[in-house]
Structure 1
Amino acid sequence: MKKLVIVDLDTGVDDAQAIMMVLANPNVEVLGFTCCNGNTSVKNVCLNTLRVLKVCNRLDIPVYGGSLEPLLGQRIPKDNYFGKDGLGDVPDPDPPSPDLLQKEGAVEAMIRMVNEHRSEVTLVAIAPLTNLALAVKLDPSLPTKLKGLYLMGGNINSRGNATVCGEFNFATDAEAAYIVLNRFSCPIYIVTWEFACWNSLPWSFCDTWLAQDTEKARFMKKIMKHIMPKEATTETPQHPRVVLAAALDVKGFIPCDPFAMAAAIDDSFVTESEQVDVTVELDGTNTRGMMVLDYNKKFKKEHVVNIIKKVDLDKFKSMLMDSLK
């Protein structure tokens, strides 16, 4: 029986990598992709998702448009790390038609799909958590019907890549992240920004990965051109993500979202995780959006999350290689 997955995303380059990874796994069935404002506008996110699906010959999978802005409408400055359009600003001479987008909204679709497959759906959230927060507000019982939730977001050492202390996905919609971490009672696994940095891959691997003679590899190489110099050059870092990577002594390729996807689709991928109470800071000029870890059990929460600490990197490399075949 295939593992059933819903992917909530804000399709930029690393989301595209995660999409290709999950579609390459024969043991997984993607029920749908729900789109959220984040790396770029939700309109671009929807079109980017269709574009990746076209390269993978999987336009049969439904794509749903979702949240246009954070819950409170408070925006941090646009990141544009992956380009203004989220996919490296690489022109597409033959884009898929917007008519392929589903009429049903992302939040409604998420609730419906989970209810249709109770206790069977793994939700992978690799974007700001606005859609998830709205879904649990509309259906408070939603978390009890999920098999599990895998997040890429948050930070454990207060090292922000979007604000002083906030990781991009959490800082973009801090209220949504707060709601999800405090209302979702299903098993939760979190890939933090620092984890992704500490498990960066050598650029030599990246070169081999992109050198495969396939349409997928050629597509990925094009959209990654926008970020490779930024990640590889740390002498005069400008972007906050590069500044943090340099501070953490990262000298390789940082595939954030694919880590969360790999953990979701392969139960043997995570080799060590730590259970801890967490929440999200909503106040403070510099700390808003920061994930707070309660090692002293002051929160007295019944539900803890699993912070991913170690994974099988050899398996991860194989999954990435397979994703572009």
Structure 2
Amino acid sequence: MSKKLLLVDVDCGVDDAQALMMALAAPEVEILGITCCHGNTAIENVCRNVLRVLHLCNRMEIPVFRGASNSILGEISPVYSHFGGDGLGDVGDADSPGLEHLQEEDAVHALIRIISQHPGQVSLVALGPLTNIALAAKIDPTISKKLGKLYIMGGNLEGRGNRTVCAEFNFYLDPEAAYIVLNEYTCPTYIASLEFAHGSSLPLEYFKDWVNQDTVKAKFMKTITASYSQKEFVSYDSFAMAAAIDESIITDSMECPVSVELHGSHARGMMVLDTIGKWKKQHKATLIKKANMEKFKQRLWTALV
């Protein structure tokens, strides 16, 4: 059986690392490339973090591409605090590969090239702000017809945010990019929203058992999550990745036209749902509502084996 072809776009913080490690542990998947975007930390740190994960997993053959260092309008002042200043808990790693391991080609052109080389076969998993993916559509408007499927971690369903009152982190960091992607990409699109992720949290007992496995990968995860202080474990990006690897993990969803609010003084960056068909929009996104949590937990567990 041929492997599923994935491209992964990340702003590599702790949860991106978890999602990447999940994909790297999946034998049915081939990762064609990893593109880096601003978000959880500065772009140089994002690139270093991806290389660090690949080195840990002995997968340095996967090409890594540097992408956008800021939003399309360049207006967001980043605050790098959720996963530490460097995105991976500020624990450092003297043996981490250097940026000379990056490809010379930039992320946006790499996305266009790789998707064009495999028309209809590639699933793109977007785990950070959508800047690279929006820019790819502006350079090559045919890209959405060539892309097989798009899986996004981002957006919100009920107007309650985690970056602002009304906006989710990834969409708020580049609202214009999110708007472009949700309105110009017409391939099958799956969205793992903020509310879905929160509603699918795992108990801290699972998290503790997970990071206390006697493996090099588990020790790495335990180190970069040492300051983790939440009451439940939410691996946000891993939900979109798990769905891309095995779509049967989705047990309940709704199809709906979606867009992004750009002009509201309070709601800028909020995902908007047309549940009553006012827009007469043909393309509908699949909004994930529930997942098979036993399958999800097994995917996460295997990521650290």
TM-score by length of 1: 0.92
Please state whether the residue corresponding to 2:134 is helix, strand or coil. Answer: helix
Q: Name the amino acid aligned to 2:144.
A: P
Cα drift, residue 79 of structure 1: 4.4
Work out the CA distance in 2 between the residues paired with 1:3 and 1:190: 19
Mapping 1:263-282, distance limit 5 Å: 263-282=243-262
Structure 1: gaps spanning 5 or more residues:
233-251
Residue 313 of structure 1 pairs with residue 264 of structure 2: no
Does the 8 Å contact 1:76/1:171 carry over to 2?
A: no
Residue 34 of structure 1 pairs with residue 14 of structure 2: no
Alpha-carbon RMSD: 0.8
Work out the CA distance in 1 between the residues paired with 2:61 and 2:214: 25
Aligned to 1:186: 187
Does the 8 Å contact 2:80/2:87 carry over to 1?
A: no
Please state whether the residue corresponding to 1:299 is helix, strand or coil. Answer: coil
Q: Deviation digits for residues 132-186 of structure 1, max 9, x if unmatched?
A: 0000000000001111000000001111100110000000000000000000000
Work out the CA distance in 2 between the residues paired with 1:299 and 1:163: 26
Cα drift, residue 80 of structure 1: 1.8
Aligned to 1:236: none
Residue 297 of structure 1 pairs with residue 245 of structure 2: no
Please state whether the residue corresponding to 2:257 is helix, strand or coil. Answer: strand
Please state whether the residue corresponding to 2:177 is helix, strand or coil. Answer: helix
Does the 8 Å contact 1:274/1:307 carry over to 2?
A: yes
Aligned to 2:304: 324
Work out the CA distance in 2 between the residues paired with 1:322 and 1:292: 35
Does the 8 Å contact 1:35/1:45 carry over to 2?
A: yes
Aligned pair in 2 of structure 1 residues 44, 79: CA closer, same or farther (>3 Å)? closer
Mapping 1:109-124, distance limit 5 Å: 109-124=110-125
Does the 8 Å contact 2:150/2:188 carry over to 1?
A: yes
Percent identity between the two aligned chains: 54
Q: Deviation digits for residues 55-109 of structure 1, max 9, x if unmatched?
A: 1011110000000110001104414200000000012121112111000000000
Residue 18 of structure 1 pairs with residue 27 of structure 2: no
Aligned to 1:158: 159
Q: Deviation digits for residues 100-130 of structure 1, max 9, x if unmatched?
A: 1000000000000000111000000000000
Work out the CA distance in 1 between the residues paired with 2:260 and 2:198: 21
Q: Name the amino acid aligned to 1:42.
A: I
Q: Name the amino acid aligned to 2:253.
A: S
Aligned to 2:216: 215
Structure 2: gaps spanning 5 or more residues:
none
Q: Deviation digits for residues 295-317 of structure 1, max 9, x if unmatched?
A: 11111111010000111100000
Work out the CA distance in 1 between the residues paired with 2:78 and 2:108: 25
TM-score by length of 2: 0.98
Work out the CA distance in 1 between the residues paired with 2:190 and 2:98: 35
Aligned to 1:139: 140
Work out the CA distance in 1 between the residues paired with 2:126 and 2:246: 16
Q: Name the amino acid aligned to 1:293.
A: L
Q: Deviation digits for residues 22-61 of structure 1, max 9, x if unmatched?
A: 0000000000000000000111100000001111011110
Cα drift, residue 267 of structure 1: 2.1
Does the 8 Å contact 2:257/2:281 carry over to 1?
A: yes
Work out the CA distance in 2 between the residues paired with 1:25 and 1:322: 8
Please state whether the residue corresponding to 1:17 is helix, strand or coil. Answer: helix
